[in-house]
């Protein structure tokens, strides 16, 4: 229905201002859809090394069952339980690897491209439709998060899917679309926390339309939709999210991290400046942007697109896209969810941003001379930008050099030929190594993830069941490699290390020692982390005495560090 309560026709709503024939529009839209799918899959296939924030969540899938994934997570992570369960099932079925961990986000990212094309086709026509699809398919954030072990790609899919059904409810009086919302609402709540803002926005926009219709057959599924999504959300918040958020606040001080994303309601005179900073920052980074006003062009197009819809009296369409912003802002005012600050936590707003920015960009181009050429040039520029992203990913398939170096070193350490490699902290439970690993804080998540990926599966399972049991599975001719992960400045207790080495000497002969340091950007200020590897082999004589390991250790590395 439109603002007057009349049923809309089944043709696309005419929101564009620049003429474009259907044949060209159709081919241009599908070309951008193909490009968007290619960019998402190519980044997934590039198999970026896990970076710090990914590893914080990924390590929770290493050996937890579904029940354990429903509680507080390691490293203070907050994540929807549906996403956790799907990831857990995939890891259990296909194995623990970067490919498997990112498979579900990639599938959601690809699916969102097709659903967004459907939404753009329903709301926009001509060049606005092409530019909206182009923005969505080549923007950095939706592509990046489609290849990360995070739920942000799911946030986009659930948001655009809810918008798609809401549009059908407004365009048609068929009740089946409301029943589809009844089914999708609870699913969206289990897979995406911010989907609740989109679901609430859909409810608020549908209410006046259904009130004008006055049909009982529409009110029943509408009521069930509200009860379903709100009920499931509240239950999940009580049973899962509260424990996750409490753990997050205690472990990582998440509210301090989000403080700039909460509106200064106690100082309302700062609100205009805060609004300007937020809406020209990373939240509006489409196709790319940053803080300090670098996303101003996208926000200007967004505002112009909103004004164009208002002028054309497409009030319900405009409200449908702006309502999630209003509910997100309300949650931020209550300090329950951030508003802006970072593009990844606002992915549920990405569909609306791209739709309105596409409309605004076309309207802006219509004011220029030779508007057809200007709009076509803008579309071509977006296509070139997308190809540039692919080239960058091809040349530099990692977030930062340290992440690639860490993965390469972990592979070298854990996959040495003719050797069994174990972690002194996890697999042997030696107190000095456990204390050293715990002190590593952020880097230990990456260390644990790559141990899980590269260590032999049988050794991983043995290490999680009985500490020290892995030592019974060394066969003649194999080397035992024992890894200690620590900070170089951390002083290990010399007596503890010496006692452990002496106990190992009763069964094995110490044959080598190596260490590797890497500068970690996840430590502030930047400082190195260290891999230490102790190599052992079967002793020549079953009852032989320990070899001169003390002298060789001192000669090679200066001996175990003295205690502070």
| pLDDT tens-digit readout, 412-437 | 999 988 888 999 999 999 999 999 99
Percent of the chain with pLDDT over 70: 89
Entry pTM: 0.89
Cα 539–Cα 540–Cα 545 angle in degrees, nearest 5 = 60
Provide the residue ranges of all domains of the chain, joining segments of one domain with +. 22-259+370-395, 401-557
pLDDT of residue 564: 32
CA-based torsion, 144, 351, 158, 38: positive or negative: negative
Q: Taking residues 240-267, what's their average pLDDT?
A: 74
In terms of average pLDDT, the best of 9-23, 75-89, 493-507 is: 75-89
Read off the pLDDT band of 369 (50, 70, 90): low
Read off the pLDDT band of 368 (50, 70, 90): low
pLDDT of residue 128: 93
Given a cut of 90, whether residue 340 has pLDDT beyond it is no
pLDDT of residue 241: 79
Which has more confidence, 492 or 180?
A: 180
Read off the pLDDT band of 544 (50, 70, 90): very low
pLDDT of residue 540: 58
424 closest CA partner among 500, 365, 370, 361: 500
Tell me the three-class secondary structure of 61-115, residue by residue.
HCCCCHHHHCCCCHHHCCCCHHHHHHHHHHHHHHCCCHHHHHHHHHHHHHHHHHH
Strands of the 419-423 sheet, one edge to the other? 419-423, 479-486, 527-538, 508-520
Given a cut of 90, whether residue 323 has pLDDT beyond it is yes
Given a cut of 50, whether residue 443 has pLDDT beyond it is yes
Given a cut of 80, whether residue 525 has pLDDT beyond it is no
477 CB-contact burial (10 Å; exposed 0-12 / middle 13-18 / buried 19+): exposed
Q: Taking residues 458-478, what's their average pLDDT?
A: 76
Beta-bridge partner residues of 510: 536
pLDDT of residue 556: 43
String of b and e for 31-67 (b: at least 16 CB within 10 Å)?
bbbebbbebbebbbeeebbbbbbbbbbbbbbbebeee
Given a cut of 60, whether residue 543 has pLDDT beyond it is no
Given a cut of 70, whether residue 143 has pLDDT beyond it is yes
pLDDT of residue 122: 93
Given a cut of 70, whether residue 547 has pLDDT beyond it is no
Give the C-alpha separation, 392 to 448, whole Å: 29
The mean of the pLDDT values for the chain is 86
Q: Taking residues 262-289, what's their average pLDDT?
A: 91
Give the C-alpha separation, 339 to 285, whole Å: 14
Please list the alpha-helical segments (H only) found in 396-441: 401-414, 431-438
* pLDDT tens digits, one per residue of 472-516: 777 777 889 999 999 988 888 888 898 999 888 888 888 889 999
Give the C-alpha separation, 135 to 118, whole Å: 15
Q: Taking residues 518-537, what's their average pLDDT?
A: 87
Given a cut of 50, whether residue 355 has pLDDT beyond it is yes
pLDDT of residue 90: 96
pLDDT of residue 249: 56
Percent of the chain with pLDDT over 90: 58
200 closest CA partner among 169, 155, 233, 152: 233
Cα 76–Cα 80–Cα 82 angle in degrees, nearest 5 = 135
pLDDT of residue 233: 94
In terms of average pLDDT, the best of 110-119, 280-289, 360-369 is: 110-119
Pick the range with the lowest mean pLDDT from 281-285, 291-295, 530-534, 557-561. Answer: 557-561
CB 413 within 8 Å of CB 407: no
Given a cut of 90, whether residue 224 has pLDDT beyond it is yes
Read off the pLDDT band of 152 (50, 70, 90): very high
Rounded to 10°, the helix 81-94/176-191 angle is 70
Cα 289–Cα 293–Cα 298 angle in degrees, nearest 5 = 50
CB within 8 Å of 104: residues ≥ 6 apart: 83, 86, 87, 90, 154
* pLDDT tens digits, one per residue of 92-142: 999 999 999 999 999 999 999 999 999 999 999 889 999 999 999 999 999
pLDDT of residue 245: 77
Which has more confidence, 259 or 31?
A: 31
């Amino acid at each position: 229905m439109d603002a007057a309560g009349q049923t809309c026709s089944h043709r696309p709503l005419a929101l564009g201002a620049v003429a474009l024939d259907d044949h060209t529009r159709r081919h241009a839209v599908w070309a951008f859809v193909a490009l968007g799918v290619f960019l998402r899959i190519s980044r997934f296939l590039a198999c970026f090394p896990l970076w710090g924030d990914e590893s914080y969540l990924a390590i929770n899938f290493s050996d937890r069952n579904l029940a354990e994934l429903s509680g507080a997570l390691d490293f203070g992570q907050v994540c929807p339980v549906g996403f956790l369960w799907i990831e857990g099932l995939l890891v259990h079925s296909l194995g623990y690897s970067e490919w498997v961990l990112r498979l579900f986000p990639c599938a959601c990212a690809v699916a969102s491209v097709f659903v967004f094309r459907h939404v753009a086709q329903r709301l926009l026509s001509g060049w606005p439709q092409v530019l909206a699809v182009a923005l969505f398919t080549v923007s950095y954030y939706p592509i990046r998060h489609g290849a990360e072990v995070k739920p942000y790609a799911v946030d986009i899919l659930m948001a655009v899917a809810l918008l798609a059904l809401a549009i059908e409810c407004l365009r048609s009086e068929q009740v089946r679309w409301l029943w589809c919302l009844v089914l999708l609402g609870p699913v969206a709540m289990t897979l995406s926390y911010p989907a609740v803002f989109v679901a609430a926005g859909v409810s608020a926009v549908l209410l006046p339309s259904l009130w004008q219709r006055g049909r009982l057959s529409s009110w029943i599924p509408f009521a069930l939709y509200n009860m379903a999504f709100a009920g499931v959300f509240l239950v999940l918040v009580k049973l899962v999210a509260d424990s996750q958020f409490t753990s997050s606040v205690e472990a990582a001080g998440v509210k301090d991290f989000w403080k700039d994303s909460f509106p200064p309601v106690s100082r309302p005179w700062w609100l205009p400046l805060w609004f300007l900073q937020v809406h020209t920052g990373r939240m509006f980074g489409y196709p790319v942007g940053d803080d300090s006003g670098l996303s101003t062009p996208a926000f200007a197009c967004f505002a112009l697109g909103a004004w164009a819809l208002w002028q054309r009296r497409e009030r319900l369409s405009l409200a449908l896209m702006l309502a999630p912003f209003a509910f997100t802002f309300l949650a931020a005012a209550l300090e329950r969810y951030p508003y802006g600050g970072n593009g990844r936590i606002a992915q549920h707003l990405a569909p609306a941003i791209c739709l309105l920015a596409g409309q605004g960009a076309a309207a802006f181009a219509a004011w220029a001379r030779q508007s057809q050429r200007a709009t076509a040039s803008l579309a071509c520029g977006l296509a070139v930008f997308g190809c540039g992203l692919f080239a960058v990913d091809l040349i530099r398939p990692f977030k930062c050099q340290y992440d690639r170096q860490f993965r390469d070193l972990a592979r070298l350490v854990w996959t040495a030929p003719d050797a069994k490699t174990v972690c002194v902290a996890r697999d042997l439970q030696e107190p000095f190594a456990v204390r050293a690993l715990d002190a590593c804080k952020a880097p230990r998540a990456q260390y644990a993830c790559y141990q899980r990926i590269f260590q032999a599966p049988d050794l991983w399972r043995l290490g999680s069941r009985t500490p020290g049991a892995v030592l019974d599975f060394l066969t003649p001719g194999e080397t035992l490699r024992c890894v200690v992960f620590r900070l170089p400045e951390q002083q290990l207790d010399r007596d503890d290390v010496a006692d452990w080495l002496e106990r190992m000497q009763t069964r094995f002969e110490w044959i080598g020692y190596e260490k590797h340091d890497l500068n970690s950007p996840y430590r502030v200020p930047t400082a190195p982390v260290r891999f230490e590897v102790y190599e052992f082999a079967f002793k020549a004589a079953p009852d032989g005495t320990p070899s001169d390991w003390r002298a060789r250790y001192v000669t090679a590395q200066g001996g175990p560090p003295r205690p502070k």
